[in-house]
Amino acid sequence: MPTFTDMFRDFGAKIPTPTRILLASSEFIKTNFIYLLLIIVAGMFLLKAWTQTPRGHWLFDQIKIRIPLIGSVIRRILLARFARTLGTLIQAGVSLLEALEITARTSGNLVFQAQILQMKGMAARGDPMEKSLTGSKLFSPLVIQMIAVGEETAELDSMLLKTAAFYESEVDAAIEALTSIIEPIIIVVLGVILGGTIIAIYLQIFDLMNVIQ
């Protein structure tokens, strides 16, 4: 590209706009590469430090479950983990309150952890667990209903494990669907980048031929 640019300038021709943009971008990256790298590294460290603070950790966990497309997959993973962990602990003979405490600590998300601890508080007062989940945006109606049925029939562990199996299969299907959506997007983005670069190069070549003629 610099070779063609020098030839253009020697002939007194005007460089096409797409080519000028490409050259300016390339020159900017080459000139400021170290600074850009430092900014990226510093940003990663700052993000990590922020997520280690109580408020930052909470907000980051909240953002993760609200991201379009990906957020729904993360919520299903968390629901499957909740149901699998709690169901396994109860089946192993662990008391309900202790099982809820362990499940909350291993939930992997502070927002879900707060909801599970609220559930534990309701259970400690003798209230049904599903009562604390009424109107919850984190726990789906299916999970709430399965918990209610499990409490009524004294088969909470069995209902939870069935729920876990359902959501684990849902996660696999969601990841496959997400992959099928992301692949075309990546192809289009790469096509636009490569196509734009090629056009910028060949526009200059074609204009150079016109200038020579």
The pLDDT mean for the chain works out to: 86
CATH topology of domain 67-172: Receptor-associated Protein (1.20.81)
pLDDT at 174 over 90: no
N-term to C-term CA, the chain: 21
Give the domain ranges of the chain. 30-64, 67-172
The predicted-structure confidence for 50-80, as pLDDT tens digits, reads as follows 988 989 999 999 999 888 888 889 999 999 9
Q: Do 79 and 142 contact (CB within 8 A), yes or no?
A: no
Residue with the bigger pLDDT between 122 and 103: it is 103
What per-residue string of b and e applies to 38-73 under the rule 16 or more CB within 10 Å gives b?
Answer: eeeeeeeeeeeeeeeeeeeebebbeebbeeeeeeeb
Give helix 54-64 / helix 70-91 axis angle, nearest 10°: 110
Per cent of the chain over pLDDT 90 is 41
Per cent of the chain over pLDDT 70 is 90
Q: Do 75 and 138 contact (CB within 8 A), yes or no?
A: yes
